Amino acid sequence: MINGLPGRMASLLAYAISVRDGFQVIHESLTGPDTTQKYFEDSIRLHKPTFHEAVLKKLASDFRDSLIAIDFTHPDGIMKNTQLYCENRIPFIMGTTGGKRNELFRIVEESEIPAVISPNMSAPIVMLMDMFEYAADNYPGAIHGWEIRIVESHQAGKKDVSGTAIAVGEILKLMGVKYSLENIRSVRDAIEQRLMGIPADALGGHGWHEYSLVSPDGNVQLRFKHNVNGRSTYVDGTLMALDFLAVKKEQGFKGVCFSMTDVIRG
Protein backbone atom coordinates (compact mmCIF):
# COMPACT_ATOMS: atom_id res chain seq x y z
CA MET A 1 0.00 0.00 0.00
CA ILE A 2 1.62 3.27 -1.16
CA ASN A 3 0.31 6.20 0.88
CA GLY A 4 0.92 9.81 -0.08
CA LEU A 5 -0.15 9.70 -3.72
CA PRO A 6 -0.09 11.73 -5.90
CA GLY A 7 3.08 13.04 -4.20
CA ARG A 8 6.31 12.60 -6.12
CA MET A 9 8.02 10.06 -3.82
CA ALA A 10 4.89 7.94 -3.52
CA SER A 11 4.42 8.09 -7.30
CA LEU A 12 7.99 6.92 -7.98
CA LEU A 13 7.58 4.07 -5.52
CA ALA A 14 4.23 3.01 -6.99
CA TYR A 15 5.91 2.61 -10.36
CA ALA A 16 9.10 0.99 -9.01
CA ILE A 17 7.19 -1.65 -7.06
CA SER A 18 4.76 -2.32 -9.90
CA VAL A 19 7.64 -3.47 -12.15
CA ARG A 20 9.53 -5.66 -9.67
CA ASP A 21 8.82 -9.19 -8.48
CA GLY A 22 7.63 -10.14 -5.02
CA PHE A 23 5.16 -7.35 -4.29
CA GLN A 24 1.94 -5.99 -5.77
CA VAL A 25 0.70 -2.42 -5.39
CA ILE A 26 -2.88 -2.42 -4.14
CA HIS A 27 -5.40 -0.01 -5.63
CA GLU A 28 -6.05 2.02 -2.48
CA SER A 29 -4.01 4.91 -1.03
CA LEU A 30 -4.28 7.34 1.85
CA THR A 31 -3.93 10.95 0.72
CA GLY A 32 -4.47 14.49 1.99
CA PRO A 33 -7.64 16.58 2.18
CA ASP A 34 -7.16 18.59 -1.01
CA THR A 35 -6.34 16.03 -3.69
CA THR A 36 -8.22 14.32 -6.49
CA GLN A 37 -9.87 10.95 -6.07
CA LYS A 38 -8.00 8.93 -8.68
CA TYR A 39 -4.39 8.33 -9.64
CA PHE A 40 -2.31 6.25 -12.05
CA GLU A 41 -4.63 5.74 -14.99
CA ASP A 42 -7.62 5.91 -12.63
CA SER A 43 -6.65 2.58 -11.08
CA ILE A 44 -5.68 3.69 -7.56
CA ARG A 45 -8.36 5.23 -5.37
CA LEU A 46 -7.19 8.06 -3.12
CA HIS A 47 -8.85 8.30 0.29
CA LYS A 48 -8.98 11.57 2.19
CA PRO A 49 -8.31 11.72 5.98
CA THR A 50 -12.00 11.41 6.88
CA PHE A 51 -11.98 7.85 5.51
CA HIS A 52 -8.49 6.66 6.54
CA GLU A 53 -9.60 4.74 9.60
CA ALA A 54 -12.40 2.84 7.81
CA VAL A 55 -10.21 2.10 4.76
CA LEU A 56 -7.35 0.64 6.81
CA LYS A 57 -9.71 -1.45 8.91
CA LYS A 58 -11.23 -2.97 5.77
CA LEU A 59 -7.87 -3.57 4.07
CA ALA A 60 -6.45 -5.20 7.20
CA SER A 61 -9.36 -7.63 7.06
CA ASP A 62 -9.20 -8.21 3.29
CA PHE A 63 -5.45 -8.79 3.07
CA ARG A 64 -4.90 -10.17 6.56
CA ASP A 65 -1.15 -10.77 7.01
CA SER A 66 0.02 -9.86 3.51
CA LEU A 67 -0.29 -6.07 3.68
CA ILE A 68 2.61 -3.64 4.19
CA ALA A 69 2.15 0.14 4.04
CA ILE A 70 4.70 2.66 2.78
CA ASP A 71 3.99 6.18 4.03
CA PHE A 72 5.12 9.35 2.26
CA THR A 73 2.16 11.47 3.31
CA HIS A 74 2.20 15.00 4.79
CA PRO A 75 4.07 15.54 8.10
CA ASP A 76 0.82 16.67 9.74
CA GLY A 77 -0.70 13.21 9.27
CA ILE A 78 2.02 10.81 10.33
CA MET A 79 1.14 10.60 14.03
CA LYS A 80 -2.45 9.61 13.25
CA ASN A 81 -1.38 7.29 10.42
CA THR A 82 1.10 5.51 12.68
CA GLN A 83 -1.61 4.98 15.28
CA LEU A 84 -3.95 3.55 12.64
CA TYR A 85 -1.32 1.20 11.19
CA CYS A 86 -0.59 -0.15 14.67
CA GLU A 87 -4.26 -0.50 15.64
CA ASN A 88 -4.92 -2.49 12.46
CA ARG A 89 -1.68 -4.51 12.68
CA ILE A 90 -0.30 -3.29 9.36
CA PRO A 91 3.53 -3.25 9.27
CA PHE A 92 4.73 0.00 7.71
CA ILE A 93 7.66 2.04 6.44
CA MET A 94 7.56 5.72 7.43
CA GLY A 95 9.67 7.87 5.11
CA THR A 96 7.80 11.10 5.87
CA THR A 97 9.77 13.53 8.02
CA GLY A 98 8.27 15.41 10.92
CA GLY A 99 6.14 14.23 13.80
CA LYS A 100 7.24 13.46 17.34
CA ARG A 101 9.84 10.75 16.75
CA ASN A 102 9.98 9.38 20.29
CA GLU A 103 6.20 9.14 20.35
CA LEU A 104 6.20 7.31 17.00
CA PHE A 105 8.68 4.77 18.37
CA ARG A 106 6.61 4.30 21.53
CA ILE A 107 3.42 3.63 19.56
CA VAL A 108 5.16 0.94 17.50
CA GLU A 109 6.87 -0.64 20.51
CA GLU A 110 3.48 -1.03 22.22
CA SER A 111 1.93 -2.62 19.11
CA GLU A 112 1.84 -6.06 17.49
CA ILE A 113 3.78 -5.10 14.35
CA PRO A 114 7.31 -4.25 13.17
CA ALA A 115 8.02 -0.99 11.34
CA VAL A 116 10.85 0.95 9.71
CA ILE A 117 10.93 4.66 10.56
CA SER A 118 13.66 6.91 9.20
CA PRO A 119 14.05 10.62 8.42
CA ASN A 120 16.20 9.63 5.43
CA MET A 121 15.77 6.55 3.24
CA SER A 122 19.03 6.91 1.27
CA ALA A 123 21.47 4.12 2.14
CA PRO A 124 24.70 6.11 1.53
CA ILE A 125 23.47 9.08 3.57
CA VAL A 126 22.33 6.80 6.40
CA MET A 127 25.80 5.24 6.29
CA LEU A 128 27.31 8.73 6.79
CA MET A 129 24.95 9.38 9.71
CA ASP A 130 26.00 6.04 11.20
CA MET A 131 29.63 7.20 10.96
CA PHE A 132 28.68 10.31 12.96
CA GLU A 133 27.09 8.06 15.58
CA TYR A 134 30.28 5.98 15.72
CA ALA A 135 32.28 9.17 16.34
CA ALA A 136 29.85 10.23 19.08
CA ASP A 137 30.27 6.86 20.82
CA ASN A 138 34.05 6.64 20.48
CA TYR A 139 35.30 10.24 20.61
CA PRO A 140 32.91 11.88 23.08
CA GLY A 141 35.17 14.80 24.07
CA ALA A 142 37.04 15.45 20.84
CA ILE A 143 34.96 18.47 19.74
CA HIS A 144 33.26 19.43 23.01
CA GLY A 145 32.14 23.04 23.01
CA TRP A 146 32.27 23.42 19.23
CA GLU A 147 29.33 24.87 17.30
CA ILE A 148 27.47 23.24 14.40
CA ARG A 149 26.10 25.32 11.54
CA ILE A 150 23.84 23.52 9.07
CA VAL A 151 22.51 24.68 5.71
CA GLU A 152 19.94 22.43 4.05
CA SER A 153 18.16 22.97 0.75
CA HIS A 154 15.14 21.10 -0.58
CA GLN A 155 12.46 21.71 -3.19
CA ALA A 156 10.00 24.49 -2.43
CA GLY A 157 7.22 21.98 -1.73
CA LYS A 158 9.00 20.66 1.38
CA LYS A 159 7.48 22.70 4.20
CA ASP A 160 9.31 21.27 7.22
CA VAL A 161 12.96 21.41 8.24
CA SER A 162 15.07 18.54 6.92
CA GLY A 163 14.74 15.53 9.21
CA THR A 164 18.26 14.47 8.24
CA ALA A 165 19.71 17.81 9.30
CA ILE A 166 17.91 17.58 12.64
CA ALA A 167 19.09 14.00 13.18
CA VAL A 168 22.74 14.86 12.47
CA GLY A 169 22.52 17.86 14.79
CA GLU A 170 21.16 15.68 17.59
CA ILE A 171 23.93 13.11 17.06
CA LEU A 172 26.66 15.77 17.22
CA LYS A 173 25.01 17.27 20.29
CA LEU A 174 25.89 14.02 22.08
CA MET A 175 29.55 14.93 21.51
CA GLY A 176 29.11 18.21 23.37
CA VAL A 177 28.56 20.28 20.24
CA LYS A 178 26.40 23.39 20.64
CA TYR A 179 23.24 22.70 18.65
CA SER A 180 19.60 23.75 18.46
CA LEU A 181 17.11 24.12 15.65
CA GLU A 182 18.30 27.72 15.30
CA ASN A 183 21.59 26.33 13.97
CA ILE A 184 19.78 25.05 10.85
CA ARG A 185 19.12 27.33 7.90
CA SER A 186 16.56 25.98 5.43
CA VAL A 187 16.76 27.20 1.84
CA ARG A 188 13.65 26.97 -0.34
CA ASP A 189 14.17 29.95 -2.67
CA ALA A 190 14.97 28.92 -6.26
CA ILE A 191 17.30 31.86 -6.95
CA GLU A 192 19.42 31.17 -3.88
CA GLN A 193 19.46 27.48 -4.74
CA ARG A 194 20.78 28.20 -8.24
CA LEU A 195 23.49 30.41 -6.70
CA MET A 196 24.42 27.48 -4.46
CA GLY A 197 25.07 25.43 -7.60
CA ILE A 198 21.96 23.29 -7.62
CA PRO A 199 21.11 22.31 -11.23
CA ALA A 200 17.95 23.85 -12.66
CA ASP A 201 16.45 20.44 -13.40
CA ALA A 202 16.90 19.43 -9.74
CA LEU A 203 15.05 22.38 -8.19
CA GLY A 204 11.86 20.31 -8.07
CA GLY A 205 13.52 17.45 -6.20
CA HIS A 206 16.82 17.61 -4.32
CA GLY A 207 18.39 17.44 -0.87
CA TRP A 208 21.62 19.37 -0.30
CA HIS A 209 23.18 19.49 3.17
CA GLU A 210 26.32 21.14 4.47
CA TYR A 211 27.51 20.78 8.09
CA SER A 212 30.18 23.15 9.42
CA LEU A 213 31.75 22.41 12.80
CA VAL A 214 33.57 25.42 14.25
CA SER A 215 35.94 25.40 17.24
CA PRO A 216 35.27 27.76 20.17
CA ASP A 217 38.05 30.13 19.10
CA GLY A 218 37.00 29.99 15.45
CA ASN A 219 40.41 28.81 14.27
CA VAL A 220 39.44 25.25 13.29
CA GLN A 221 36.58 24.20 11.04
CA LEU A 222 35.41 20.79 9.85
CA ARG A 223 32.98 20.67 6.96
CA PHE A 224 30.88 17.81 5.57
CA LYS A 225 28.52 17.73 2.59
CA HIS A 226 26.05 15.34 1.03
CA ASN A 227 24.17 16.52 -2.04
CA VAL A 228 21.39 14.59 -3.73
CA ASN A 229 19.71 15.55 -7.01
CA GLY A 230 16.46 13.78 -7.77
CA ARG A 231 14.86 11.07 -5.65
CA SER A 232 16.23 7.77 -7.01
CA THR A 233 18.45 7.12 -3.98
CA TYR A 234 15.42 7.43 -1.66
CA VAL A 235 13.42 5.04 -3.85
CA ASP A 236 16.26 2.50 -3.80
CA GLY A 237 16.56 2.76 -0.03
CA THR A 238 12.81 2.36 0.48
CA LEU A 239 12.84 -0.79 -1.63
CA MET A 240 15.67 -2.12 0.58
CA ALA A 241 13.54 -1.31 3.63
CA LEU A 242 10.55 -3.08 2.07
CA ASP A 243 12.51 -6.29 1.53
CA PHE A 244 13.93 -6.02 5.06
CA LEU A 245 10.54 -5.43 6.71
CA ALA A 246 8.88 -8.27 4.80
CA VAL A 247 11.51 -10.66 6.19
CA LYS A 248 11.13 -9.33 9.74
CA LYS A 249 7.36 -9.71 9.49
CA GLU A 250 7.72 -13.33 8.37
CA GLN A 251 10.13 -13.94 11.24
CA GLY A 252 7.43 -12.85 13.67
CA PHE A 253 8.89 -9.59 14.96
CA LYS A 254 6.33 -7.56 16.91
CA GLY A 255 6.58 -4.22 18.63
CA VAL A 256 9.98 -3.47 17.08
CA CYS A 257 10.81 -0.15 15.41
CA PHE A 258 13.73 -0.54 13.00
CA SER A 259 15.80 2.26 11.51
CA MET A 260 17.45 2.55 8.11
CA THR A 261 20.71 1.81 9.92
CA ASP A 262 19.24 -1.58 10.81
CA VAL A 263 18.24 -2.03 7.17
CA ILE A 264 21.67 -1.32 5.67
CA ARG A 265 23.42 -3.38 8.32
CA GLY A 266 21.03 -6.27 7.78
Reported pTM? 0.85
- pLDDT on residue 65: 86
How many C-beta atoms lie closer than 10 Å to residue 61's C-beta? Answer: 10
- pLDDT on residue 83: 96
Tell me which architecture the domain covering 2-117+233-265 has in CATH: 3-Layer(aba) Sandwich (3.40)
* Catalytic residue check, 206: no
Whether the ω angle into residue 124 lies within 30 degrees of 0, i.e. cis, is no
Q: What is the per-residue pLDDT across 155-169, written as a single tens digit (0 to 9) for each?
A: 998 888 998 899 899
Q: What is the per-residue pLDDT across 231-253, written as a single tens digit (0 to 9) for each?
A: 999 999 999 999 999 999 999 99
Give the Cα-Cα-Cα angle 192, 207, 96 (nearest 5 degrees).
125
At 119, is the pLDDT very low, low, confident or very high (cuts 50, 70, 90)? confident
> Mean per-residue pLDDT for 112-116?
97
Please choose, from the candidates 122, 124, 129, 70, the residue with its C-alpha nearest in 3D space to the C-alpha of residue 94: 70
Q: Which of 48, 57, 80, 158 is catalytic?
A: 158
- pLDDT on residue 219: 97
- pLDDT on residue 169: 95
- Rounded to whole angstroms, the Cα distance separating 6 from 168 reads 29
- Domain residue limits, the chain: 2-117+233-265, 123-230
At 223, is the pLDDT very low, low, confident or very high (cuts 50, 70, 90)? very high
Tell me which architecture the domain covering 123-230 has in CATH: 2-Layer Sandwich (3.30)
- pLDDT on residue 39: 67
C-alpha distances in angstroms, 261 versus 22, 37, 55, 70? 23, 36, 31, 18
Distance of CA 159 to the CA centre of its chain: 14
Cβ burial, residue 89 (10 Å; 0-12/13-18/19+) = middle
* Catalytic residue check, 144: no
| Fold matches, 2-117+233-265 and 123-230 | no
Q: What is the per-residue pLDDT across 17-62, written as a single tens digit (0 to 9) for each?
A: 989 889 999 999 999 887 766 666 568 899 999 999 999 999 999 9
Q: Which of 154, 206, 248, 249 is catalytic?
A: 154
Which sign, positive or negative, has the C-alpha torsion 171, 235, 22, 89? positive
